[in-house]
Structure 1
Amino acid sequence: MTRADIQALADFLPPLQQPGFTAGNVRGGEQTEPGVLQMPFIDYDPVVDAFVEAAYRQSWVLTDFDWQVWAQSDEAKALQGEEAAIATATPEQLGRLITVCVRQERFCEGALMSAFDSGLILRIVERAAVLAGDPSSDLG
């Protein structure tokens, strides 16, 4: 990852730190006519859509590893659940986490909202901001 790739993530820090930021809302579930219910769906905030677009554009969504297997690993669980672990995460580990979050959404709507609501995406972006501002990091 280059410094520009890291900075693309770090640029999401201000909007994610805004008081009251919510990743999205559940919509639907209402009866649209007798006997017909609209399926519930997630209406994501534009910041979330922009984050996903940037993740793909900057190649944070990785295609060269088995994300489903990695998501069950001790490393993935520690990075997702332990603030101290993500505070030392490498760019590669951040990419793996982002890949898991984005790809899970394709199989389970709302998974990405959970990653935002739990603070995981904010912690990833905070770590990216640290890496982007650290001239001693080994980024290109």
Structure 2
Amino acid sequence: MYESLIKYLPLLSSDGIGDWVIDKENDGTSEHPIQMPYVNYSKMVHQFIDDLYSFIDKHPEMKLNHYSDILNENGIKWESKSMTDALVDDLDGKCVMALLVGAVRAERFCDGALLSLFKDGTIAKWLKRLNELN
């Protein structure tokens, strides 16, 4: 069921995931405004996000658009520490998927949120749990 996502497990260790892009060339004048920092994600991360959204579309019965409610039902807050500290061994596939959706959605509100979860191994931990459940 989760093949479209767990296929990324072996790629995580070899992919650069992404890097912060910080404008060091411009001086902030009106002629040379400084560009806001942003994360330049790898092609693999963009494909992962696309595959996650495809999974959501293919499995409406999981109601993953309500990821925050699913997390709350499992005692997990939609915030970095609570999600990272969640004991995935006790979670079902629906909740792990809600964690992944919540992580991707967090990026819309906080640049670099997803990068941190990839780099610290949290995404890998969640994907390993999906692999166990598969």
TM-score by length of 2: 0.76
Deviations 1:71-104 (A, max 9, x none): 7x7435665215xx21232111112101210111
How many residues align? The count is 122
User: Could you list the runs of 5+ residues in structure 2 that have no partner in the other structure?
Assistant: none
The change in CA–CA distance for 1:89 and 1:70 in structure 2 (over 3 A counts) is closer
| Structure 2 residue 76 is matched with structure 1 residue 75 | yes
What does residue 38 of structure 2 align with? Answer: 41
Matched residue of 2:107: which SS?
helix
Structure 2 CA distance for aligned equivalents of residues 94 and 46 of structure 1: 23
- Structure 1: gaps spanning 5 or more residues: 133-140
Which residue pairs with 2:22 in the alignment? 28
Range with greater deviation from structure 2 (87-96 or 49-58): 87-96
Match of 1:87, SS state, is helix
Once residues 126 and 22 of structure 1 are traced to their aligned partners in structure 2, the CA distance between those partners, rounded to angstroms, is 19
Equivalent residue in structure 2 for 1:12, among 5, 8, 24: 8
Describe the SS at the equivalent of 1:15.
helix
State the 4+ residue runs in structure 1 displaced beyond 6 angstroms.
none
2:60 is aligned with 1:64:
no
Q: Give the direction of change, closer, same or farther, for the CA distance of 1:41–1:91 in structure 2 (3 Å limit).
A: same
Determine which structure has greater relative contact order: mean sequence separation of CA pairs < 8 Å that are 6+ residues apart, divided by chain length: 1
